[in-house]
Amino acid sequence: MTLRNQVLVWVGFFVATIFLLWIFRPILLPFVVGMALAYLLNPVVNIIGRIGISRPWASAIVLVIGILVIIGMLLMLVPLVGQQVVGLITRLPGYVTDLQALAQGLVPQLTEWLGPERTAQVEASLADLITRGVEMAGLITAQVAQSGLTVVNTIAVLFITPVVAFYMLLDWEGMTERVDDLLPRAYRDEIRGVLNQIDKSMAGVIRGQGSVVLVLCIYYATALTLVGLNFGLAIGLLGGLLSFVPYVGFAIGFVLSMTVALVQFWPDQWLFVLIVLAVYLVGQFLEANILYPKLVGQSININPVWLMFALFAFGLLFGFVGLLLAVPLAAITGVLTRYALAKYQASSLYRGPEPEPAAPKVDLVVPPVRKPPARRPTRAK
């Protein structure tokens, strides 16, 4: 298969996948969650299977334990977090108003430092920024809720997701073997290499990124609650959950925390404002230098700008399902793009035509011609 045909096949496959996702987007949520859960639990099922337990029983045991753990966490956290989320949404306009009043107290100092015209410009810019930020957050939340978190989808996730995950765990090895049997014999090793890279990248997305999100949720929620920040548990969980988007989780959590901290602690307990600031600086350091390199590493290998674009684009097209699929599809696209670039750089289109082999050198030195020895004249008898 030529390079051109390979590129056409992969591009066609990608376009067909996006088209099918767009058609079936209203019913995809339980299947996507079920497949992600099966992919996440498959290594545990393999470990239990080595002990001697059959694949069906191992799949059932692992899936039941995983569901019980998720249900237990929800039962413990949902009542408390739900109250804090409702309280934060109710109090957020008041916090914004209090923060603006706090900023108004600093206007005389800013006027003395910047002048009246620049101070008015800064004040107008901040007000416009806050208004646009609140409107954008509301639109994104409404879009996600309308497209993905309907009552039907919620019921489907609760009842269909475990069934999908169980049957995928049950037949995981068979599916991989059937896919391997369908690979073209001439290109089997090359395609296996690409699929192994995709598997490594997906493991980094689902397992590594999921571990990072879990650790950050625990860290931010615990630290902000211990500081005594109002709605610290909800803000910490929100920032941790959104940390799968580069810098977005940190930015949202930091802005909300500092807004609440300034209104709650300033100026009498200003030290707690610095503690909240330190919590986020330490969290960002841990994420960038310890958690992400150790748990995710270079398996995703995607520029953060493209990752954010994929999240916003897929979220706009497919709603909540798009947010779940954006990072895995971006990882797969990155693997295929790197493979295509490697093939392109190894092709004659990039290297140019091969130079013709040089003609063998011909030795043009003519050997000296030896003259025959002179004949002696014969004497006459």
Flag whether pLDDT at 355 surpasses 70: no
Residue 61, burial from CB neighbour count under 10 angstroms (0-12, 13-18, 19+): middle
* 55: in domain: no
- In single-letter form, the type of residue at position 342 comes to A
**pLDDT score, position 6:** 67
- List of residues 6+ apart from 22 with CB closer than 8 A: 317, 318
pLDDT (0 to 100) of residue 147: 47
The answer to whether residue 45 sits within a structural domain is no
Is a pLDDT exceeding 60 seen at residue 292?
yes
Burial of 97 (0-12, 13-18, 19+ CB in 10 A): exposed
pLDDT digits (tens, 9 = 90+) for 182-234: 888 887 888 888 888 888 887 777 777 788 888 999 999 999 989 888 888 88
DSSP state of 356: P
The answer as to whether 37 is a domain residue is no
288 falls within a domain = yes
b/e code 330-369 from CB counts within 10 Å (16+ = b) = bbbbbbbeebeeeeeeeeeeeeeeeeeeeeeeeeeeeeee
pLDDT of residue 278: 92
Residues above pLDDT 90, as percent of the chain:
3
Residue 144 pLDDT level (bands cut at 50, 70, 90) = very low
Q: Indicate whether 370 belongs to any domain.
A: no
Indicate whether 95 pLDDT > 70. yes
What pLDDT digit, counting tens, does each position of 29-76 carry?
Answer: 788 888 888 888 888 888 888 888 888 898 889 888 988 888 888 787
Question: For the chain, how far is it from start to end, CA to CA, in angstroms?
Answer: 92
Torsion angle, CA of 251/331/66/42, rounded to 10 degrees?
A: -160
Asked if pLDDT for residue 369 goes beyond 70, the answer is no
For residue 189, the Cα-to-chain-centroid distance in whole angstroms is: 28
Q: Is residue 248 part of a domain?
A: yes
Domain that residue 234 falls in: 183-344
Question: Which range has the worst mean pLDDT, 114-118, 142-146, 294-298?
Answer: 142-146
Contact between 259 and 134 under an 8 Å Cβ cutoff? The reply is no
Q: Is residue 297 part of a domain?
A: yes
272: pLDDT strictly greater than 60 = yes
Question: Structurally, how many domains does the chain consist of?
Answer: 1
pLDDT score of 297: 62
**360 part of a folded domain:** no
pLDDT higher than threshold 50 for residue 148: no
Higher pLDDT, 362 or 311: 311
Separation between Cα atoms, residue 256 and residue 247, nearest integer Å: 14
3-state secondary structure of 299: coil
Cβ(333)–Cβ(307) below 8 Å: no
Whether omega before 377 lies within 30 degrees of 0, making that bond cis, reads no
